[in-house]
């Protein structure tokens, strides 16, 4: 149920992700949701966001000694893969909750996740010899710009907006520590939907809802 809720949040948003939608999507018995989530929908949504965070942590694991460009490239590949593998139907579940929640508790939960992502990225950039202030600034820019690029690409049903933003972000990352370009291969890899490393990067993020997608008898309404 948690994986199904995460998938629905990413595809159709918070308001359309009701208990009944999750139950139908995952073919779960009605009594189970009230048994496992006595706190109601907010409890289920928080569990779904925690799952997304855990999956993101598994997918986003740069190699030791990675350059700022390599760190940014892996982060961007994950989100590009979400777009490709979902055929533009899925975005970020944390964003979906942030823009629609009227619950202070849910907003604080989403804020904590974004804060953890910023801290993680900033720490990696500092480890790559980027000054702390620059690292914190670029971490926020990378998250905000990539999330916005996902929204644009979903709206236009095209990877072009995402790739334009990604190219600019990688150029900026390259200047953080004066690193040399990773090469056109990185950009070319993002432009290829069949790129194997990109597919691996997104596998963990998309896996949160894969099992429930396989068991459902219908497709969720587009968000």
CA distance 23 to 25: 6
pLDDT of 218 reads 42
CA distance 52 to 145: 19
CB 165 within 8 A of CB 174: no
CATH of the domain at 68: 1.10.357.10
Please count the structural domains in the chain: 1
In terms of average pLDDT, the best of 5-19, 44-58, 133-147, 184-198 is 133-147
DSSP string, 17-47: --HHHHHHHHT--HHHHHHH-TT-HHHHHHH
Residue 211 lies in a domain: yes
Residue 222 lies in a domain: no
Tell the residue number behind the tokens 């109601």, with chain if given. Answer: 40
pTM of the shown model: 0.79
Phi first, then psi, for residue 106 (nearest 5°) are -65, -40
Residue 115 lies in a domain: yes
Asked if residue 132 has pLDDT above 90, the reply is yes
CB 88 within 8 A of CB 157: yes
Residue 85 lies in a domain: yes
Residue 220 lies in a domain: no
Residue 223 lies in a domain: no
- Could you read off the pLDDT of 92-114 as tens digits, one per residue? 999 999 999 999 999 999 999 99
Residue 40 lies in a domain: yes
Q: What mean pLDDT comes out for the span 199-222?
A: 43
Confidence of residue 51 (pLDDT cuts 50, 70, 90): very high
Q: Which domain holds residue 114?
A: 2-215
């Amino acid at each position: 149920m948690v994986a199904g809720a995460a998938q629905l949040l990413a595809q159709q948003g918070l308001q359309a992700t009701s208990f009944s939608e999750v139950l139908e999507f995952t073919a779960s018995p009605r009594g189970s949701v009230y048994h496992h989530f006595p706190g109601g929908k907010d409890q289920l949504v928080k569990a779904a966001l925690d799952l997304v965070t855990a999956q993101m942590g598994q997918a986003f694991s740069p190699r030791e000694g990675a350059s700022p460009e390599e760190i940014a490239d892996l982060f961007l590949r994950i989100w590009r893969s979400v777009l490709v593998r979902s055929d533009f139907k899925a975005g970020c579940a944390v964003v979906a909750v942030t823009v629609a929640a009227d619950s202070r508790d849910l907003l604080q939960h989403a804020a904590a996740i974004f804060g953890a992502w910023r801290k993680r990225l900033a720490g990696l950039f500092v480890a790559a010899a980027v000054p702390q202030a620059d690292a914190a600034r670029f971490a926020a820019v990378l998250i905000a710009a990539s999330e916005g690029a996902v929204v644009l690409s979903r709206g236009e049903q095209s990877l072009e907006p995402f790739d334009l933003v990604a190219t600019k972000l990688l150029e900026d990352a390259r200047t953080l520590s004066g690193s040399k370009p990773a090469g056109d291969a990185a950009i070319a890899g993002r432009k290829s939907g069949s790129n194997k490393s990109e597919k691996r990067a997104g596998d963990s993020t998309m896996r949160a809802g894969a099992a429930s997608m396989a068991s459902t008898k219908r497709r969720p309404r587009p968000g």
